[in-house]
Structure 1
C-alpha cells in the first residue's frame, strides 16, 4: 500500500445516518457492532461488493483500521467513495457511539 493515500475520517465525523461497512469476521461482528452497519467480512468483499451502493460515501470499519484500510483502497480503486474510520470499532466504542450485539450480551469489541 505504499504511496497510496487512504482517506481517513474520525469517528466523530461519521454522520449518524452514514453508510457504515463493517469488514470484521463473524465472531467480532456478533460481539458488538454499530446498529446500522452492513456486515461484509473482508474475505467476502470482492464477491459481495455489488451489495454496496456506489452513489453514497462509504465509511469502513474493522477493529482498529488495518483491514478496513485494505477494503477502502480496493473499493476506491473500483469506483466507490470510501473512507477508513480511524481507530475502527475500538475508537467507536471509546467515543461511546451506539453499539449492539447479536449474542444477548452487552456489546464489546473483540
Structure 2
C-alpha cells in the first residue's frame, strides 16, 4: 500500500481525514476533506467530487490504521491514494498546524 510521511506532504496536497466527528472537531489539518470512516461508503461521492482528477488522495486518521483501510478501499476503486504514516499524531508532532472548525488552534484526540 502506498504510504507517505507527513514531511513528504506539501501545502497543496489533497488530504482526506477519515476520523470521527469528535476527533475532527477537536482539531484537524486546515483544508482537509472530512468523511468519517464509519460513513465513508455512503458518502464516497463527496470524495469523487472534491478530489483532484489528476492528483493523489492522502488519507489520514489519528495514527494510521483507519486511513490504511480507506486507502486500500480507494486503491480497489482505481483511485491514486496513499496512507499518511502516523496520522494526525505525526502531523502534530512535526509541528504542522492543527485547527478547530472555528479556525482556532486545535489538538489531536
Structure 2 partner of 1:86: 85
Structure 1 partner of 2:4: 9
Aligned Cα root-mean-square deviation (Å): 1.5
Structure 1 partner of 2:100: 101
Partner SS, residue 42 of structure 2? helix
Q: How far did 1:102 drift?
A: 2.7
Runs of 4+ off more than 4 Å: none
Size of the aligned set, in residue pairs, is 105
Distance 2:46 2:103 in 1: 27
Asked if structure 2 preserves the Cα contact closer than 8 Å seen for 1:60 and 1:85, the reply is: yes
State the TM-score, normalizing by the size of structure 2.
0.90
State the TM-score, normalizing by the size of structure 1.
0.89
Note the residue ranges of structure 2 that are not aligned, 5 or more in a row.
none
